[in-house]
Amino acid sequence: MKQIAFYLKKYRAAAIMAIFLMLVELTVELIQPLLISQIIDDGITLQNGSVVLLWSGILVGGTLIAFGAGILSSFYAAHASQSLGYDLREKLYGKVQSFTYAVFNRFATSSLITRLTNDVTQVQDTTFMGLRFMLRVPLVVIGSMIMALVVHAELGFLLLLTVPALFLFVVWIVKKAAILFKKVQQRLDTVNGVMQENMTGMRLIRVFVRREQEAARFARHSGELMQSSTSALRLTEITLPFIVLIMNAGIIAVLWFGHLEIRAGSATTGEVVAIVNYSLRTAGALSAMSMLVSAFSRARASAQRISEALATDSGQTDAAQTARKTGGISEGSVEFENVSFQYPNTDAPVLEDISFKVSPGQTVAILGATGSGKSSLMQLVLRLYEEDQGVIRIDGRDVRELDTLHLHDSIGYVPQEVLLFTGTIRDNIAWGLDNASLEQIMESAKSAQIHDTIEQLPNGYDTLLGQRGVNLSGGQKQRISIARALIRKPAILLLDDSTSALDVRTEAALLKALNDMSCTTFLITQKISSTLNADLILLLDDGHLIAQGNHEQLMENQSLYRRIFESQFGEEGSHVGSVK
Amino acid sequence: MWEALSEPFRHRQPKAKGSVNVVNQATAGAGKRPKPKAKDWKVTLKRMWHYLSHRKGRLILVLLMVLMSSALTLLGPYMIGRAIDHYLEGPGGTPWLLFLSGLAAVYLLNSLVSWLQNIWMIAIAQETVYRMRVDLFGHLHRLPIPFFAKRQRGELMSRMTNDIDNVSSTLNSSAIQVFSSILILVGTVIVMLLLSPLLTVLTFLVVPLMALGMKWITRRTGVLFKERQRNLGDLNGYIEETLSGQRIIKAFSQEERVIREFRERNERIKLSGFWAQTISGFIPKLMNGLNNLSFAVIAGVGGILAIRDVITVGVIVIFVEYARQFTRPLNDLANQWNTLLSAIAGAERVFEVLDEEVEAKDESSALSLQSIQGAVVFSRVSFSYDKGEETLSDISFEVQPGETVAIIGPTGAGKTSLIQLLSRFYEADSGTITVDGHDISSIKRESLRSHMAFVLQDSFLFEGTIRDNIRYGKLDATDEEVEAAAKLANAHSFIVRLSGGYDKVLHGDGSGISQGQKQLLAIARAILADPAILVLDEATSSIDTVTEIKIQEGLQRLMAGRTSFVIAHRLNTIRRADQILVLKDGCLLEMGSHDELLTKRGLYNDLYHGYGQLQ
C-alpha cells in the first residue's frame, strides 16, 4: 500500500487539487443545514420574508460553486488515477522484463497477466473513487460532527459518541476483507491459468475429445473463485446495515435528549432539526461505506500483489550491473571451463564439468540423447541462466563481465519451439534488428530459404501472422525464426534443433548459406548428416561431455557416436557411401 | 505547480463517436467497430436477464426485501418529521417513548432487511457470473479451430476475466440499488405530493435538467467504456504474448522494444480510461449540483410558504430530507448507470464471443461409431485456408485398415493440412474423405476423434503431474497402464530418474524436461489412447536417433493392426511404411512403397538421394 502511495506522489498536485475541489463542494453542502436553521429561526419564526430570500439566494450561489468544483475535480481525479494506473503497469511490466529468466519462471505467466491488468485496474479505480468519495465520507462525518457541536454542543456530543465504534468496526472489516480478497485474486490467477492452458492446447484437447473434462476442471476452479468472491463480499456487506443501525441509534438519542432540552428551554427547535439533519447526512454518507469498504479491501489485496512483484529481486547480479560497457563481440570464440549447471529448484545437475573451446567462425554440432543437456548448454551461452560453477568465456572474456545487451546483440538464437509474434512477417523478421531495411529483411529471408515462400503469399512480406502463425507450416515458421536470427549478422549463431521440421534438401541449402556467413555456429541436431561437416562435435550424455572432436575422430574412438551414425545410416550406410 | 495542474486538460479530446483512433491495430479480426446503440443494450440486458433468471425464486425474495427496505427507508424520515411537529414543537404527550421505540424498530428492521437482500443478491450475482464464465469457456471449446488462428489468446482471456469482472461488480451492488432506487423514487414522489403538491412540482423542476445532462454524458461514456475494454483486451493480448515469448525477448535483449510497444498500448488505455472516467465522473456531480439546487428552492419557497402558514416547519424538514432522498436514488441510479455502462460494455464483449459460430453443428443424423476398422479414403479432396491459394488440390488415395502411411514432402507441401482435414479441424472445400466407407462429415466429430490418437507437432503438456499428462490419453487408465505406455514410448527410464518420478509436477514452461522428453510423453499419451487410427505428426523430430530406434520397436508394435499416418523426414521411419505419399505444393506427386517409388526415379528418389548428397 505504501508503495502505491509512493507512485501517487508524482501526481500529488492533481490529487490535492481533486481533494481541494471536493472540499469546496463539501463545505457548501455542510453549510446548507446551517442555512436552513437560519431560515427557520430568523425567517419563518420571525416572519421575515426577505431573510428567507437572502439565505436561499446564497444557497443557489453555493450550489453553482459546488457544481463547478465537482466537474473540475472529475478531471483531476481521473488524471491522477489513470496516470497512476499507467505508471504502475509501466513499472510492473518493466520490472518483469528486468527479471532474469530464472526469476521470471518463478511466477506463473497467468498470475503476472492478472497482476498487470486486473490488479492494476482495481487499484486505479479505487484511487479514482478515493479521490472523490473515500475522503468525502470521513469528511462529511467529521464536518457534520463539528457543525453539530457548533449548533448545540451537548446534542452534538451524542452524535460524536457513535464515531469511535464505527471507526474500529470499519478498520476491522477492511483488514479481514483484504485477506479474503487476496484469495479471490489468487483464484483468479488459477482460472486465468486454466484458460491460458486451454487456449494453447486447444488442438490437443479437441483430438483427444477432452472437452468435458476440461470444462469440468474449469467449472471447479470457477466455482472456487465464486465461493471466495461470495464470502469476501458477504463480509463487506455487513458494514452498511451495521453502520446505519449505529447512526440511527444516535438519531433516536438526539430526538430523546433534544426533546428534553427543548422542554428545559436550552435548545431551539431549529437546532434540534439541524442536528437531526446532520445525523441523517452522516448516515447517508456512511451508506456509501460498504461499497468503499469492499473496493478498498480489494484494492489493498491487489496493491499487495503488485508490490510483491515489484519488490522481487530481479536476479541481476552486481557483476552484470557493473559490467564494463564493452562493445559487441567481434570474433566469436567461445570457451567453457569446468562448467556445471543445475536448474533452480531441481535436485540434479543437468550439466557437469563441461570444458571445450571453439575458435571464431567454427561450426559446432552438439549431439546427444534426449534430455542430455544440449539445450541447457545453449541457454548458458545466452545467459538465460547462470552457470553454478566454472567459467564461460567469449572472446576470451568472462561472460559475467560482459554487458548482456551487447552480448545478445552479437548472438542470433533460434529456439526449438517456434515463437512468433502477432504482426506481419516483415515485423517478425525485423524484430531481430532495430530499423531493419526491407533489403536486409529479404537478404536474411533468402539465407533462411524462406524468401521464395513469402513472395508467393498474397501479401508477401506484409502477410499477417496470427497467434503463433497458424497458416504457415511448422517448417516455414521455423525458417522465419531463423531469418529473425540471421538479420542481426551475429558473431555467434545458436540453432537449437531448429531444422527438425525442414526437409533434407531445404536443410542442406540452409546449412550451405550459413557456411557462407562467417559466424561461430552452434548447432543442436539429431542428424549425423549435419555433423559431418562440423569443425567440432560435442557429444553429450546425461549432462556429461563424453567426447569432442570431428566426425572422423569420433567415428574412430566413440562407440556411442558410431551407434548414432549407424542408427541413421545403418544398413544403407554403404549405399550412401557408394553414391558418393 | 501550474504545469502539474494544467496537465489533465492536455489529454486530447476524444474524437466524435467511437473513433479514439487505434493505431497499429495488429490484432487481426478484433477491429470490428462498436455501435453502442440503445437497441444493442436492450439485447445485451435481455441476455443478462436470461442468466439471472436461473435464480428466479431467490430473485423474487430479494425483490420483496427491497420493497420492504424501501418502505422502511421512506418511513424513517416521515417519522422524524412527525416527531418534530408533534413532540418538539407541539404538545407532545405520553406516547413519546412508544413513538421512539417504534422508530427504533423501523431502523432495526431496515438494517436487517437490507443485510439479507445484499447477502442473497451477492450469491445470485456470483452464480450468474460463474455461469457466464463456464458458458463462455464451454463455447470456446465448440468454436472452429480457425477462430483461434486469428485471435490472440490474451485478448480472449481478457474477456473471461476483465470483462466478466465488470459484469460481476455491477450485479453485486448495482442491481439491488437500481431496484430500490426506483422504488424509493416512486414512494418519495407519492408522499411528497400528499404533503405539498406545490413544493413537489418545484422539486421536480430539476428533472428535465437531469435528463438532459444524463443524455449528454451517456452518449459519450457508452463508446468510451467499450473502447477502454477493447484497449484492455489488446493490452492483455500483448502481455500474454510477450510473457509467453519471454525466452526470445531475453535472448534477443529486446526488453526495451517490448517495453516501448507496451507503452503505446498503455497510453491508449490511459487515454480512453481518462475520458471514460472523467465524463462518467460528471454524473454524481451533476446530480449533486441539481440536488443542492432543489434544496435551495425548497428552502426559499418553503420558507415563504411557512411564513404564510401554508405549510409547517416540519413539512420543510421532511421535504428537504425527501428532496435529498429523491435525488439520492437518482444519484445512485446515475452512479449505477455508470457501472452498468461499463458492465454492458463487458457483457457485450462476452456475448460477442458467444455469438461466434460454433463448429458447424453435427447433423442430428450424424453417426456415432462404436468401433471402426480404419479404412480411410480421400477422393479428389481440395482445400484452402481463408479461400486463398489452394493448400491441397485434388488429393486421392486409399488406405486399408491396419496400413501404415508415410506422408513426406518439402516444408509447406500440405502434410499437416491433410491431417487437419482428417481430424475435421478444417473442412475440405471439395471432394470427400471417408472412414470405413462413411463420409466423415456425416460422423459426429467427437465420435470420429475418439477413434483417433494424435501426436501433434507441438507437444503440449498441461500443468500437472507427468502421470496425469500421460493419462490424458485414457482417463480411466490404471497406474500400471500408464507406466506400460511410458515404457513402450521409452519415457519410463527418464521419468523414474526425475525427482518425484511420475508425480513430478510439470509447470507451464516445462523447464526441467527437454523438448524431446516432452515428445516421448506425448507418444506415451497416444499409446495409452489405443486408437484405431494413429496420427504421428513429426512425433519424433526432437528425439535423438538412438532413442528413436528404441521406441521404434514400441511404435511398430503400436502401429501393427491399426491405420497409421506418419509425417516424418527421417527415411528410416518412412521406409517401412506400406504406402508413402509424396506431397509437393499441395499436390500428391507420387505414392507407393519405398521400393516402388525408388524405381520410379521421381521426387522421392531425389529426396532419398538428397539425403546422401550431404556427405
Beta strands B563-567 and B404-408 are parallel
User: CA–CA separation, B60 vs A450, rounded Å?
Assistant: 65
User: Which has the closest alpha carbon to B442: B453, B457, B427?
Assistant: B427
Inter-CA distances, B214 with A60, B221, B273, B337, B461, Å: 21, 10, 19, 10, 52
HEC string of B318-360 equals HHHHHHHHHHHHHHHHHHHHHHHHHHHHHHHHHHHHHCCCCCC
Most confident of A91-100, A334-343, A564-573, B93-102: A334-343
User: Which of B115, B140, B414 lies closest to A241 in CB terms?
Assistant: B115
A363 phi and psi angles, rounded to 5 deg: -110, 125
Highest mean pLDDT among A488-502, A537-551, B562-576: A537-551
Q: Distance (Å) from the C-alpha of residue A337 to the closest C-alpha of chain B?
A: 22
Report CB contact under 8 Å: B239, A256. no
Q: What tens digit of pLDDT does each residue of B251-299 get?
A: 777 888 888 889 999 999 889 889 888 888 888 788 878 877 877 787 7
Nearest to B416, CA basis, from A179, A470, A103:
A470
List B residues 330-389 in contact with A (Cβ-Cβ < 8 A). 385-386, 388-389
Q: In the predicted model, is pLDDT for residue A224 greater than 90?
A: yes
* pLDDT for the residue numbered A364: 92
Q: Does A77 touch chain B (CB under 8 A)?
A: yes
What is the Cα–Cα distance from A173 to A180, expressed in whole angstroms? 11
State pLDDT tens for residues B377-433: 999 999 987 766 788 999 999 999 989 999 988 777 888 889 888 988 888 889 999
Contact yes or no for A195 and B151 at CB 8 A: no
pLDDT of residue B20: 38
Residue A31 has pLDDT above 90, yes or no: no
pLDDT at B19: 40
Lowest mean pLDDT among A189-193, A284-288, A556-560: A284-288
Sequence letter at residue B99 = F
How many domains would you assign to chain B?
A: 1
In a domain, B412, yes or no: no
Edge-to-edge strand list for the sheet holding B533-537: B452-455, B533-537, B563-567, B404-408, B579-584, B587-592
Task: Sort out which chain B residues have CB atoms less than 8 A from A501's CB and list them.
Answer: 411, 457, 538, 541, 569
Residue B444 lies in a domain: no
Neighbours of B45 (CB within 10 A): 14
Torsion over CA of A486, A489, A492 and A498, rounded to 10 degrees? Answer: 0
Look up residue B13 and give its DSSP letter.
P
Is the Cβ of B273 closer than 8 Å to some Cβ of chain A? Answer: yes
Distance separating alpha carbons of residues B101 and B121, to the nearest angstrom: 30
- Of chain B residues 515-544, which have a CB less than 8 A from chain A? 515-517, 519-520, 525, 529, 538, 541-544
Chain B residues closer than 8 Å to A434 by CB: 257
Which pLDDT score is estimated for B178? 74
| Partner residue facing A422 (CB), from B92, B241, B458 | B241
B126 and A272 within 8 Å at the Cβ level: the answer is no
Question: C-alpha grid cell for residue A175?
Answer: 483488514
Q: Is residue B308 included in any domain, yes or no? A: yes
Q: B30 pLDDT band (50/70/90 cuts)?
A: very low
pTM of the model: 0.79
Q: Please indicate if any CB of chain B lies within 8 Å of the CB of A448.
A: no
Contacts of A262 in chain B (CB under 8 A): 88
- Give the confidence band of A559 by pLDDT, cuts at 50, 70, 90: confident
Q: What span, in angstroms and rounded, lies between the C-alpha atoms of A75 and A79?
A: 6
Interface of A with B in 505-564 (CB under 8 A): 505-506, 508, 526-530, 532, 560, 563-564
Q: Chains A and B: how many Cβ contacts under 8 Å?
A: 547
Q: What is the mean pLDDT of residues B498-502?
A: 84
Per-residue confidence band for B445, with pLDDT thresholds at 50, 70 and 90: confident
User: Hey, of A81, A84, A115, A117, which one would you mutate to test binding to chain B, going by the most B CBs within 10 A of its CB?
Assistant: A117
- Grade residue B186 by pLDDT with cuts at 50, 70 and 90: confident
Higher-scoring residue by pLDDT: A28, A84: A84
CA distances from A161 to A145, A149, A282 (A): 10, 12, 13
DSSP at B538: S
Return residues 381-420 of B near A (CB < 8 Å): 385-386, 388-389, 408-417
With an 8 Å Cβ cutoff, is B473 touching chain A? yes
- Please, are residues B469 and B461 in contact by the beta-carbon 8 Å criterion? yes
Q: Are A101 and A155 in contact (CB under 8 A)?
A: no
Q: What are the chain B neighbours of A132 within 8 Å (beta carbons)?
A: 281, 284
A-chain residue closest to B146, CA distance: A470
Distance (Å, whole) CA B254 – CA A409: 9
Q: What is the Cα B204 distance to its own chain's centre? A: 44
B32 found inside a domain: no
CA angle A105, A107, A108 (to 5 degrees): 100
State the pLDDT at residue A351: 92
Mean pLDDT of A369-377: 87
Q: How many CB atoms lie within 10 A of CB B104?
A: 15
Which residue among B313, B549, B610 places its CB closest to the CB of A567?
A: B549
pLDDT at B14 over 70: no
What pLDDT does residue A355 have? 93
Domain assignment present for B187: yes
Q: For A80-98, give the DSSP string.
A: HHHHHHHHHHHHHHHHHHH
Rounded to 10 deg, the angle between the A136-151 and A269-287 helix axes is: 170
Burial readout A430-450 (b: 16 or more C-beta within 10 A, e: otherwise): bbbbeebeeebbbbbbebbbb
CB atoms within 10 A of CB B53: 10
A124, A226, A240 ranked by CB distance to B127: nearest = A226
Q: Enumerate residues 33 to 62 of chain A having a beta carbon within 8 A of any beta carbon in chain B.
A: 35-36, 39-40, 43-44, 47-49, 52-53, 55-57, 59-60, 62
Chain B, 77 to 136: residues with Cβ < 8 Å from chain A are 77, 80, 83-84, 87-89, 92, 96, 100, 103-104, 107-108, 110-112, 114-115, 118-119, 122-123, 126-127, 129-130, 133-134
Q: Cα(A382)–Cα(A494) distance, rounded to whole angstroms?
A: 9
Which of A543-547, B354-358, B417-421 is predicted least confidently? B354-358
pLDDT for res A275: 83
pLDDT of residue B21: 40
Lowest mean pLDDT among A8-22, A475-489, A514-528, B352-366: B352-366
Decide: helix, strand or coil at residue A520: strand
B373 CA: distance to closest CA in chain A (Å): 18
**Which pLDDT band holds residue A328 (cuts at 50, 70, 90)?**
low
Cα–Cα nearest to A207, from B383, B534, B484: B534
Q: Are B5 and A17 within 8 A, CB to CB?
A: yes
Helix, strand, coil shares, percent, chain B, to 5:
65, 10, 25
**546-605 of B, contacting A, C-beta below 8 A:** 546-549, 569-570, 572
| Residue range of the domain that includes B98 | 52-354
Rounded CA-CA distance A401/A320 in Å is 6
Q: Are B415 and B407 in contact (CB under 8 A)?
A: yes
Share of chain A above pLDDT 90, in %: 13
Least confidently predicted of A286-290, A361-365, B178-182, B416-420 = A286-290
CA count, 13 A, side-chain hemisphere, A442: 8
Would the pLDDT of B509 be above 50? yes
Give residue for cell 538412438: B546
Q: CA torsion angle for B307, B311, B312, B315 (degrees, to 10)? A: -130
Q: Which of A203, A421, A464, A197 is nearest to B145 (CA)?
A: A203
Domain-located, residue B607: no
Q: Which pLDDT band, with edges at 50, 70 and 90, does A468 fall under?
A: very low
Domains of chain A: 2-311 (1.20.1560.10), 322-410+492-580 (3.40.50.300), 413-489 (3.40.50.300)
Q: Output the average pLDDT for chain B.
A: 80
Beta-carbon contacts of A306 under 8 Å, excluding residues fewer than 6 positions away, are: A3, A4, A88, A92, A115, A119, A120, A123
Domain-located, residue B240: yes
Q: Is the pLDDT of residue A440 over 80?
A: yes
Q: Which residues of A touch B450 (CB under 8 A)?
A: 209
The predicted model gives A66-90 an average pLDDT of 89
- Residue B22 has a pLDDT of 38
CA distance A570 to chain B (A): 9
What is the mean pLDDT of the segment spanning B147-175?
A: 78
Contact B252 A506 (CB under 8 A): no
CATH classification of the domain holding B121: 1.20.1560.10
CB contact under 8 A, B514 and A25: no
Mutation for A interface: B248, B298, B322, B518, most A CBs within 10 A:
B248
Are A290 and A240 within 8 A, CB to CB? yes
Q: How far is CA B317 from the centre of its chain?
A: 51
A49 contacts in chain B (CB < 8 Å): 303-304, 307
Question: Do residues A392 and B564 touch, judged by C-beta distance below 8 A?
Answer: no
Tally the C-alpha atoms within 13 A of residue A395's C-alpha that lie toward its C-beta: 18
Q: What pLDDT is attached to residue B320?
A: 74
Dig out the grid coordinates for B225 from the structure: 467504456
Residues 6+ apart with CB under 8 A from A121: A85, B162, B232
Cβ of A367: how many Cβ atoms within 10 Å?
28
Q: Mind telling me how many Å the CA of B479 is from chain A's nearest CA? A: 19
Nearest chain B alpha carbon to A466 = B150
**Interchain proximity A97–B259, CB inside 8 Å:** yes
* For chain A, the helix, strand and coil percentages under 3-state DSSP, each to the nearest 5: 65, 10, 20
What pLDDT was estimated at residue B572? 66
Would you call B245 and A419 a contact, using CB atoms and an 8 Å cutoff? yes
pLDDT at A482 over 70: yes
Please choose, from the candidates B525, B444, B440, B452, the residue with its C-alpha nearest in 3D space to the C-alpha of residue B489.
Answer: B525
Domain membership of residue B11 (yes or no) is no
DSSP of A468-479, one letter per residue?
T-TTS-HHHHHH
Is the pLDDT confidence value at B23 over 50?
Answer: no
State how far residue A557 is from chain B, nearest Cα, in angstroms.
Answer: 18
Q: Is the pLDDT of residue B615 over 70?
A: no
